[in-house]
């Protein structure tokens, strides 16, 4: 028995002195490459589980619940863009020709009496809203309105999402 232990120890000593066999080194390298490839796959799978917004903003609504199957065709969240801030205003049809993109505006809110925020018209809808399918009389025409967006300078972040505001746009044209 002692002779068997001696022979086993001698084999280990010879193997240590000779180094690892090329097959063992190649196998270990293949296992390392496989493990590294698995790490890359797992990192990508983890990244695929994260939702990232293309814009900075605030989550307004969660449109899907945790555990639901996500789809690129259905939004999971609705995001409110907070920079730049803007106010939706409905412009009567008879003022449509007097406003253009870049027109200055003044915005006030009830919660900050006396405070005026500078703004400008950044978007004017090309289509009317609240319009009957066929406007046949001049009495119905004043009901036509156009959505415009007035962008507001708010460096101190005093305006809140959804807050009612009063917008004054001077008639310049």
What is the domain partition of the chain in residue ranges? 2-47, 52-79, 84-168
Cα separation, 172 vs 97, in Å, equals 10
User: What is the fold, at CATH topology level, of the domain defined by 84-168?
Assistant: Elongation Factor Tu (Ef-tu); domain 3 (2.40.30)
Share of the chain above pLDDT 90, in %: 29
The rounded distance, in Å, linking the Cα atoms of 40 and 79 is 31
State pTM to two decimals.
0.58
pLDDT interval class at 103 (50, 70, 90): very high
pLDDT by residue (tens digit) across 116-172? 999 999 999 998 877 545 444 556 556 778 889 999 999 898 998 888 899 999 875
């Amino acid at each position: 028995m002692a002779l068997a232990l001696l022979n086993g120890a001698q084999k280990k000593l010879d193997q240590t002195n000779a180094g690892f066999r090329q097959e063992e080194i190649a196998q270990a390298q293949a296992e390392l490459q496989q493990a590294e490839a698995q790490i890359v796959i797992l990192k990508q799978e983890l990244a695929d589980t994260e939702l990232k917004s293309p814009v900075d903003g605030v989550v307004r609504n969660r449109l899907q619940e945790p555990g639901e199957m996500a789809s690129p065709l259905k939004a999971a969240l609705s995001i409110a863009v907070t920079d730049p801030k803007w106010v939706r205003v409905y412009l009567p049809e008879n003022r449509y020709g007097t406003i253009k993109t870049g027109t200055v505006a003044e915005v006030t809110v009830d919660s900050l009496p006396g405070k005026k925020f500078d703004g400008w018209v950044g978007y004017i809808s090309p289509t009317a809203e609240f319009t009957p399918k066929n406007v046949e009389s001049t009495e119905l025409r004043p009901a036509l309105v156009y959505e415009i967006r007035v962008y507001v300078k708010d460096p101190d972040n005093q305006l809140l999402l959804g807050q009612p505001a009063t917008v004054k746009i001077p008639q310049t044209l």
